[in-house]
Amino acid sequence: MNWLERCVSDAERFLRTQWRQGPVVLRPDDPPTEILTPADLDDLIDSGALRVPYAGLFTMAGAVPEADFCPPRVVAGRYLEGWLDPERVRTLIREERATLQLRYVNHWYPPVRQLTAGLAEQLGRLAEAFCFYSQPGRFGAVHRDDGDILVLQLSGAKHWQVFGGPTDANWQPVREDDPGPVLLDTVVRPGEVLYVPNGYAHTAQATEDGPSLHLTIALREAGAGHLRAELQSLLASGLVLPGRPLDDGDLTGTAAALLDHFRDRLDSASAESLVRSARLHAYSSRPTA
């Protein structure tokens, strides 16, 4: 299965002319909308198996307190918290127009895991999936995400505004109060895929036609912190040293062995290999908003 082709139609053309060039709406011939349908979402809600932090609810006022939709359970004599109650979830969606967000869907839902695994292999990046079931309402806060995103519209429609990318390498994936001019203002419909390059600010709202269900695939990009972490892991690999050298000579010998080990590891590495490894482990400090 070529998952990238199913998302963008012509993978070679996409990577050559659209990747990191700017936002674009793609209309693939065979979009993978079957991996999570509205009926599947209903089944997940009704199963009672969803729990925080893999799931959460939001309104325009902010995150809904867990106590409002996660009453405690007693299972085999154990007191459990954090499991979503289907009736309360549906009431909040219906009466408070709450948005249901399912996080890291690739961790626990096999069809989505197949999609993210395929994209990760083809693009050489960590791929993570987030599902949003939104009611019609006003635009959310403009924000930037850590990584390129592919937004697969599964049902309903969503109005997106995409702004420019960050101008400073020290940008953070947080709310953006002054994102600059709009680059793309469009409605994304079922089967269409919106591509937003790494760090480009954006906001969205479900249209008045009804609820929107979409899947956001975050293709994480490495930062300096990921490179440092990969380098530390590389240098520590295979390192065996005595914990407490017995005398001055042993301590100096241990220091020399440590330096030799680091030199050998650095000689075997390259900037390209460090980037490749960092991209495959580039977990974000926050989930995609």
Question: What DSSP character marks residue 143?
Answer: B
Pairwise CA distance, residues 260 & 240, whole Å: 12
25 token code pair: 């709406």
Higher-confidence position of 286 and 107: 107
- The model's pLDDT over 148-200, given as tens digits with 9 standing for 90+, comes to 999 999 999 999 999 999 988 888 888 888 899 999 999 999 999 999 999 99
- The model's pLDDT over 16-51, given as tens digits with 9 standing for 90+, comes to 999 999 999 999 999 999 999 999 999 999 999 999
Q: Which CATH number fits domain 3-219: 3.50.50.60, 2.60.120.650, 3.40.640.10, 1.25.40.10?
A: 2.60.120.650
- Bridge partner list, 162: 184, 202
In three-state secondary structure terms, 194 is: strand
E strands present in 181-232: 182-188, 193-196, 202-206, 212-219
* Residues in the chain, total: 289
Residues 153, 288, 185, CA angle at the centre, nearest 5°?
Answer: 50
Per-residue pLDDT at 289: 60
Tell me the domain boundaries of the chain: 3-219, 224-280
Residue type, 84: L
Closest C-alpha to 104, from 162, 156, 38, 52: 52
Q: Look up the pTM and report it.
A: 0.91
Per-residue pLDDT at 30: 96
